[in-house]
Structure 1
Amino acid sequence: MEWHARSASDVLAELETTEEGLSSDAAAERLDSVGHNEIRTDERRHPVWVFLDQFSSALIWVLLAAAALSFAIGHTVDAALITVILLGNGIFGFVQEYRAERSLEALRELATPEVRVRRDGTDATIAATELVPGDVVSLRQGDVVPADCRLLESQNLEVDEAALTGESMPVEKHVEAVDADTPLAERPNVVYKGTNVTRGRALAVVVETGMETEMGAIATELLAAEDPETPLQRDLHKLGRRLGLAVVVLSAIIVPLLVAGGTALVQAALTAVSLAVAAIPEGLPAVVTLTLALGVRRMADENALVRTLPAVEGLGSVDVVCTDKTGTLTEGEMRVRVAWVNDQSFRVEGEAGEADAGPESDDRLRTLLEIGAVCNDATDDEGDPTERALLAAAAEHGLDVAALREERPREDEVPFTSERKRMATVHEDVVYVKGAPRVVLERATRVLREDGPEPMDEATRERIQAQVEDFASDALRVLAFAYKDRSDEGGPEENLVFVGLQGLIDPPRDAVAPAIDDTHRAGIDVKMITGDNEVTARAIAEQVGIESASLTGADVEGMDDETLRERVEEIDVFARAEPVHKVRILRALQANGHAVAMTGDGVNDAPALKNADVGIAMGVRGTDVAKEASDIVLLDDNYATIRTAIERGRTIFDNIWKFVGYLLSANAAEVLLVFIASLFGYLILPAVQLLWINLLTDGLPALALGTDPSGDVMDRDPRERGSGIIDREMVAFIAGAGLVATAVMLGLMFVTLDGAPAATPYAMTMVFTGFVVFEFAKLYVVRWTRDTPVLSNPWLAGAVALSTLLHLAVLYTPLRTYFGTVPLSLADWGLLAGALAIGGPLFVVVGWVVKRFVARPTV
């Protein structure tokens, strides 16, 4: 229903109620019909299902099958090791990922627990959840609106709707009907669930409750939204499916071949198990998760709290940041930017009172600030944001507001209303007036000059009006100030002396412009999407370095999806945008292939935060709804933190690339070696040894790669959305490094077998140890391909040293009985050094080719 377009009497008639409210019986019947005034939520998944989901990938299924097969043929050590690894990964993933979504619960918490309502003609207090359409409620300053309501009476009512519409200023409300096509943010006769009354009082009739409210519509969007997969998640899932299929195909080929060649079925089955273990990087999920977790800890130290681990990698790949204005690019509170008296401007800004001059330098400036402080209902902590800003301006210029109010006690007042657009306070000998410039000028007959009041001429009026328009073009909200002696003729608001203007603004944060410049340099487009008006949006955008034409939410609504996809590429400022517009803009960008990060702090931002590739909420001013719908929460509400988080995300991606390439090249070599050796009748690496290689080389050293320092990652273009981590550069490195390791290890195998008809413990130990040595050497080659200084990571050197000691333990302690190894002599180590002398330079050649001919250049 278009409640805003209908008169109050028509609304009451439509709802079959009166200003005396519903009867208790009628309210009870409606409650049974429409349900409680609350936001419905999805049921949370049981923790058991969350844990079981950790074992849902193809990689895990193949390893579970390998463990079962190992147990069936009597190799319980192999089965136990595989099972322990799987359980460890599952538990770790469960701990990290069990963060049930609380978006809709937060929405429910925003509802007021109790509300004043008229039932049976008398006033009562009931639970807000018991409200029904047709109930008549009273609202006053400090209340949270309990449902969507049509105003019946309004006395100086102002409502802060920033959380719903993005409008930075409290909205004046009145009861008159407006046009049916009036945007949500401009409907003065309707108040919405979850918004806050900042001034005045009102009587209103409930028109929508629960899921039918505007907040309920947002909740419906959140219910329908799904968390998009990041490129890393997509790659790991795709990798799991492909590796699982490869293992099945290879096993289907090799087992029949071995059995047909005379190999015992148990031995053929062990070869299949070894192939499964060789093909699957068991430690990859844990290393990825741990690396992301380490990145999360660092980001928390940098004021970015990450709620979902994959968002770290996703943030590093975004190429568009869609940001709200109020509280995100701006400080989220009004400040007086400039004061103007008779052709002279005084800068009024800065927490320490940075100004061009103090009030003592011009009595007119003192008078201007005094009127703003005394003709004012606010205190330092409470009241209208504009009036609080006027108090702050006076205090910043050295005026003692409390003393001024004590010197000039208020005897009477003419309160501000949306119709009057002015306020007057009456004191013992003077009347102070503040309000919209037009209405104050209409009532001014004189202007205050240096030598006192002088008659107001037309030229002066035009000059003042030009100054008002100039301030407005800079996105300033302009107020005019005047006074009159009580002894002067006329009423309290007639024959005024015009004093001057104060221009207020919700100013941009100091660090925003440099941060946006950095993100632009990194190939990332920044788009402002705000519920504020178009003039203010464009002015703020220009100040922070977003230079673009603008569109309004109405413009977006009038476009089909195809047109919006075209226009969204060239437009960076969207004003008067409602939640549905934000989501449409977001989806248009994603349809064009962009990876999009959405920032915001209000309830209205929640659907876009939920649907974005990465949702970033403000932690200080942000609503619970925005935080719970997001992936990342900025603890300092500072846009500059986004820039730091992007750099951290890109660094983490670089490090993940290193160890994924490192791990998969090792697995490729293991599969090739096991497969080729089995064709010659050798099971050169049993499953337990392959598991050890993977644990040893894929564990601490791979994890240490995650602590590598960043290069100049902000000088690179973002990766294409959906390109994934396994790009052509990685494929080239895996193929080259895998073939080098396979060739050298095959040579080592045949040398150490010395013609033996079956794999000997000595030959197995040499190949086993050779793989470990080669992997440690390859660590430094893979880092070199990503321009990481060789000696820049002491943690890596420590991880290699510790892992080497662990491997020596399985060679020279009783542990070797579990691994089937024998101690190696100095001559054996010399042979391994010779193999490394051949393979090491070949690794470097592979890295050089990848770096020179395959890797993408930086911008």
Structure 2
Amino acid sequence: MPGGEPLPDWCSLAPDEVRRELDAGPTGLTAQEAEARLQRYGANVLREEARETRLQVFLRQFKSVLIIILIVAAAISFLVGEALDAAAILTIVVLNALLGFSQEWQAGEAIEALKKLLVQHAVVVRDGERQEIDAAGVVPGDLVLLEMGERVPADLVIVEGTSLEVDEAPLTGESSPVDKAPGRLPAETCLAERSNMTFAGTTVVNGHGRGIVVATGMQTEFGQIAGLSQRVGDEATPLARQMDRLGRDLGLIAVGIAVLAVAVGLLQQRGLLEMFLVGVSLAVAVIPEGLPAVVTLTLAIGIKNMMRRNCLIRHLPASETLGAVSVICTDKTGTLTRNEMTVVRVRTPDAEFEVTGAGYAPEGEFLVEEKPVDPLADRGLRLFLRTVLLCNHASFALEEGGWRIFGTPTEGALVVAAAKAGLSREGVPEAATEFSFNSTRKRMTIVYPGEGGHVAYVKGAPEVLLARSSRLMVGGSAVPLTQDRRDALLGELEGYASQGLRVLGAACRTLPAGIEWTADAVEEDLTFLGFAGIVDPPRPEAAEAIRLCRSAGIDVIMITGDNPLTAYTIARDLGLSSEGALTGADLEAMTDDELEARLRTTKVLSRVTAEHKLRVIGILSRERAVIAMTGDGVNDAPALRKASIGIAMGIKGTDAAKESSDMVLVDDNFASIVAGVEEGRREYDNIARFTRYLLSSNVGELVAIVGGLLLGLPLILIPVQILWINLVTDGLTALALGLEPAERDVMQRRPRDPDESILTRNAYLVILVLGVWLGLLTIYAFSGYYEADIDRARTMAFTSLIVFELYNVLNFRSFRFPLHRIGVFTNPTLILAILGSLALQAVVVYVPVFNAFLGTAPLALADWGFLALLGLPVLLVGEAYKMLLLRLRNAAPAAS
């Protein structure tokens, strides 16, 4: 409680003890006392984080080191009189920021999640009367009334409950509604098993009851998780870290080369102003001005591709981060499974029936030994299905988007099973009476009038019904239930449970005249009809997605609030290999080192809390894993924020989960995550391609300028020409490289090391060799003309670099496969970009206004032919090198 007072273990107290602890009477608080407590404890609201303003989101786009360097370069260009250069650089910087801002602001428009999840009203008893108040005014000690369909306004201890069931999935991850009833539990009972309490943000799905408020606002379980989520900081993505590192490296290189070149020029007796201009040119040549914009545009295009794969990206870099994932921590319900409880087996005393068809669609068959049978021809099966249909309040209907259940999922599964056999409630008279289900009785009975009297239809825990039964339905007739038959059925029941099935039994009884209509009297001397095995079936595509993860070197860990046996069974059915399952209690009993060792072999974690999930992420991060964490509930929000990429469910996810995530899974399907990983890997490969391509081009420019300087030649390229190459012609082709299709083996490779630079040692070597080659060829093209016409010489150098780089871009389509293997026309956008770059270069060569702007002069057709032949070996040698590598890779297995 506030003020540093220790919190009691509320679940361990009886209702009267809770009232004494909170000084609350059985008829609720008085209005005066409630107002005093509101002043003492504060409003029943969550303390919220301030959302970023539009300005803050826009300014965040300038945090990249590379962007800062470009702004500095623009400022220097302006100071030395190169206003056009400065304007060009700043324009690309601002456009890049606007694009990033647009993507992030649109994705972040969700309503404040944590505020929305608390209900807006509550029904309480004050001054002995029922009152509806604003939920913010609920205080500890209030007596709250709980009705079906209502959200729970605060943490409560149950004092009364009739058939009370609560959906706690947003808080605990439990897939099935939880029975609630008064009682005492051990203080160490885990959150998901506190059946004598309900919690803020959960929903009553059946029955009604009353509860005493024991915590409000930030003191609730919901509020504590919200606070934990707010304390978890956002982590920089691998791509952002690599780009910052690249920006720092390029900045240091630019300054070093510029200073060295100025010093060499001054030693050669060149003028200070001329050398300062050379220094600026070199700095511009080193920095790939178009790189941030191309990265941003590529990620934006990737976001649209992700959306087609049902992955809604909320932050630009997250799409690429997904491609670096090495561990996926996934929820079970709705992600690996359909989140549609389904009857898959029915065991009557006569036979076992397999029921086909998954989900809530009333389509399927009844099989015995894999052969279809008429379910209505078997009297025992027909009576079982009629019983679970009539002893039921659920219904289903076809709505836009599919079949929907009204009622609890388990009851809905039974109604759908009856509908598959052709049974419905049409023509059934109104029930005469009902004895509701609760966690103590573990059974439910509805009595209907029938021929010759009334019939009681009973469903519930099979072992409870067997204990209250004296007969079995065998061969269409009721026969005595012997102890041997009872033991045999209990053994089969254990077999169902061991397979992770939720099991419900059914029984019936024709009531004798004059019977006392009480639960104990009616629910005696029953005829046991059998039991049904119910499961939330795995998604059919999930098994293939897990297999694909295995081939891609991605570890999959199921983390769920559900029952450990159910979770392990689903994992086994999906091909997720695990040495048993660990519960939250198991995690708490282990040291971090012990848990780290177990996570190498045990891939199913159940009954876990928000703190457990954060701990698992921390342990997995020890090995530099890139972790994707899925979640849908309030309890998942802290882990979603802490993970490398948090993935919220789009259908059943709470707003709190979505707001804490980097990505929203539109269809809640695990297979869509794997499709997103493939797209993310393609994005990263393409970013690596065009980054290396742009840098090799810049090295060519650098070698041309420095080489010319060392040879005593005039400045080969002026800054505005370099900017034209970097921003226009290179920018077009680099962006087209960002659309390169994924290589065919992209999901057969292990995840990349997140700390590995985008520029590996081999990449540096390729960039250096190609860059030097391009630079020397450019010097050669310049040297034959500068003495006669400096403008024509610079135009030859300017155009030669563009022609050579257009050959070079084909080298960077793949680092491993030659063109004939990937297909020349598999990226038609690149072909158009090459033709467009040539057309633009022709414009600046032949249109007078561009001659003045860029310092160019018209070239003869023979000049173009000469440059085309001069650059052709750049492509041919690259292709020959890749063919040699491919041959060596193919020969390696045979050699071994």
TM-score tier after normalising by the smaller chain length: over 0.9
Residues 1:289 and 1:604: Cα distance change in structure 2 (over 3 Å): same
Residues 1:671 and 1:15: Cα distance change in structure 2 (over 3 Å): farther
2: CA distance, partners of 1:246 / 1:735 = 14
Structure 1 letter corresponding to 2:381: L
1:60 shift after superposition: 2.8
2: CA distance, partners of 1:849 / 1:746 = 30
1:724 shift after superposition: 4.0
Residues 1:63 and 1:680: Cα distance change in structure 2 (over 3 Å): farther
Structure 2 letter corresponding to 1:185: A
1:715 shift after superposition: 1.4
Aligned match of 1:554: 585
2: CA distance, partners of 1:625 / 1:57 = 29
Structure 2 letter corresponding to 1:725: I
Residues 1:266 and 1:442: Cα distance change in structure 2 (over 3 Å): same
Aligned match of 1:797: 831
Residues 1:169 and 1:389: Cα distance change in structure 2 (over 3 Å): same
2: CA distance, partners of 1:464 / 1:415 = 25
Q: What SS class does the counterpart of residue 715 from structure 2 fall into? A: coil
CA contact (8 A) 1:63 1:276 kept: no
Which one is further off, 633-642 or 535-544? 633-642
Equivalent positions of 1:446-595 (< 5 A) are: 446-487=471-512, 491-549=521-579, 550-595=581-626
TM-score by length of 1: 0.95
Q: Does residue 3 of structure 1 match 2:21? A: no
Q: Which runs of no fewer than 5 residues in structure 1 stay unpaired?
A: none
CA contact (8 A) 2:389 2:424 kept: no
Q: What SS class does the counterpart of residue 332 from structure 2 fall into? A: coil
Q: Which runs of no fewer than 5 residues in structure 2 stay unpaired?
A: 1-6, 368-372, 397-404, 516-520
CA contact (8 A) 1:593 1:721 kept: yes
2: CA distance, partners of 1:155 / 1:102 = 41
Q: Does residue 134 of structure 1 match 2:165? A: no
1: CA distance, partners of 2:234 / 2:888 = 36
Structure 1 letter corresponding to 2:721: Q
Which one is further off, 86-95 or 175-184? 86-95
Q: What SS class does the counterpart of residue 376 from structure 2 fall into? A: helix
Structure 1 letter corresponding to 2:307: A
CA contact (8 A) 2:258 2:282 kept: yes
Q: What SS class does the counterpart of residue 292 from structure 1 fall into? A: helix
1:99 shift after superposition: 5.3
Q: Does residue 206 of structure 1 match 2:206? A: no
1:585 shift after superposition: 1.1
Aligned match of 1:360: 376
* One of 646, 649, 662 as aligned partner of 1:615: 646
Residues 1:86 and 1:451: Cα distance change in structure 2 (over 3 Å): closer
Q: Which deviations, in whole Å up to 9, do the C-alpha atoms of 1:427-465 show, x marking residues without a partner?
A: 223111111111111111111111411111111111111
Structure 2 letter corresponding to 1:224: R
1:379 shift after superposition: 2.8
1: CA distance, partners of 2:135 / 2:878 = 69
1: CA distance, partners of 2:374 / 2:317 = 53
1: CA distance, partners of 2:108 / 2:611 = 21
Structure 2 letter corresponding to 1:522: A
Which one is further off, 218-227 or 50-59? 50-59
1:827 shift after superposition: 3.1
Q: Which deviations, in whole Å up to 9, do the C-alpha atoms of 1:316-371 show, x marking residues without a partner?
A: 11111111111111111322111111141112231312322332230111100000
Aligned match of 1:692: 724
Residues 1:49 and 1:411: Cα distance change in structure 2 (over 3 Å): closer
1:535 shift after superposition: 0.9
Q: Does residue 437 of structure 1 match 2:453? A: no
CA contact (8 A) 2:254 2:282 kept: yes
Q: Does residue 421 of structure 1 match 2:442? A: yes
1:505 shift after superposition: 1.2
* One of 1, 11, 19 as aligned partner of 1:12: 19
1: CA distance, partners of 2:872 / 2:310 = 47
2: CA distance, partners of 1:213 / 1:14 = 17
Q: Does residue 339 of structure 1 match 2:339? A: no
* One of 370, 377, 388 as aligned partner of 2:412: 388
Equivalent positions of 1:64-463 (< 5 A) are: 64-98=71-105, 105-350=112-357, 351=361, 352-356=363-367, 357-380=373-396, 381-403=405-427, 405-406=428-429, 409-428=430-449, 429=453, 430-463=455-488
2: CA distance, partners of 1:823 / 1:619 = 58
2: CA distance, partners of 1:849 / 1:301 = 37
2: CA distance, partners of 1:838 / 1:492 = 94
Equivalent positions of 1:654-673 (< 5 A) are: 654-673=685-704
Q: Which deviations, in whole Å up to 9, do the C-alpha atoms of 1:133-192 show, x marking residues without a partner?
A: 222211111111111111122222111111111111111112211111111111111111
Residues 1:543 and 1:108: Cα distance change in structure 2 (over 3 Å): same
Aligned match of 2:28: 21
Q: What SS class does the counterpart of residue 866 from structure 2 fall into? A: helix
2: CA distance, partners of 1:382 / 1:483 = 25
* One of 698, 707, 716 as aligned partner of 2:739: 707
Aligned match of 2:3: none
Aligned match of 2:774: 741
Q: What SS class does the counterpart of residue 446 from structure 1 fall into? A: strand
Aligned match of 1:829: 864
Aligned match of 2:763: 730
Residues 1:196 and 1:709: Cα distance change in structure 2 (over 3 Å): same
Q: Which deviations, in whole Å up to 9, do the C-alpha atoms of 1:215-258 show, x marking residues without a partner?
A: 11221122122332222111111111111122222223333443
Residues 1:720 and 1:83: Cα distance change in structure 2 (over 3 Å): closer
Which one is further off, 19-28 or 514-523? 19-28
Q: What SS class does the counterpart of residue 338 from structure 1 fall into? A: strand
CA contact (8 A) 1:104 1:625 kept: no
Structure 2 letter corresponding to 1:660: T
Aligned match of 2:60: 53
Residues 1:834 and 1:504: Cα distance change in structure 2 (over 3 Å): closer
2: CA distance, partners of 1:637 / 1:569 = 26
CA contact (8 A) 1:367 1:499 kept: yes
CA contact (8 A) 1:296 1:306 kept: yes
1: CA distance, partners of 2:71 / 2:237 = 26
Which one is further off, 683-692 or 693-702? 693-702
CA contact (8 A) 1:132 1:209 kept: yes
